[in-house]
A and B are shown apart, each in its own frame.
Chain A
Amino acid sequence: QLQLQESGPGLVKPSETLSLACTVSGGSINTNIYFWGWIRLPPGKGLEWIGSISYSGGTHYNPSLKSRVTMSVDTSKNQFSLNLSSVTAADTAVYYCARVGGGYGLYDAFDIWGQGTMVTVS
Chain B
Amino acid sequence: DIVMTQSPDSLAVSLGERATINCKSSQSLLYSSNNKNYLAWYQQKPRQPPKLLIYWASTRESGVPERFSGSGSGTDFTLTIGSLQAEDVAVYYCQQYYDTPITFGQGTRLEIK
Which residues of A are at the interface with B, using a C-beta cutoff of 8 A? 37, 39, 46-49, 52, 60, 62-64, 96, 98, 100-102, 106-111, 113-116
Bound-state CA distance A111–B49 (Å) is: 11
Q: List residues of B whose CB falls within 8 A of some A CB.
A: 1, 38, 40, 42, 48-52, 55, 61, 93, 95, 97-98, 100-107
Chain B residues whose CB sits within 8 angstroms of the CB of A109 once the complex forms: 40, 52, 55, 95, 97
* Residue pair B93, A49 in contact (C-beta under 8 Å): no
Q: Which 8 A-B pairs have the closest CB atoms?
A: A109-B40, A113-B49, A49-B102, A109-B55, A47-B104, A62-B101, A46-B106, A46-B107
Query: If the complex has contacts A48-B104, A49-B101, A109-B40, are A96 and B50 also in contact, measured as CB distance less than 8 A?
Result: yes
Beyond A60-B100, A107-B97, A111-B61, whether A46 also contacts B105 by CB under 8 A is yes
Interface of B is mostly: loop
**Complex: chain A residue closest to B93, CB-CB:** A47
The minimal Cβ–Cβ distance linking A117 to chain B, given in whole angstroms, is 11
Chain A residues near B107: list those with CB within 8 A. 46-47
Question: What are some 15 contacts across the A-B interface (CB < 8 A)?
Answer: A37-B102, A46-B104, A47-B93, A62-B100, A63-B101, A64-B101, A98-B49, A106-B97, A106-B100, A107-B97, A108-B97, A109-B55, A110-B42, A110-B52, A113-B49
Kindly provide the distance from the CB of B29 to the nearest chain A CB, expressed in whole angstroms. 11
Residues of A within 8 A of B38 (CB): 107
For the A-B complex with A60-B100, A108-B55, A110-B95 known, give 19 more contacts whose Cβ atoms are closer than 8 Å: A37-B102, A39-B50, A47-B50, A52-B102, A62-B100, A62-B101, A63-B1, A64-B101, A106-B100, A107-B97, A109-B40, A109-B95, A109-B97, A110-B42, A110-B52, A111-B52, A111-B55, A113-B51, A114-B49
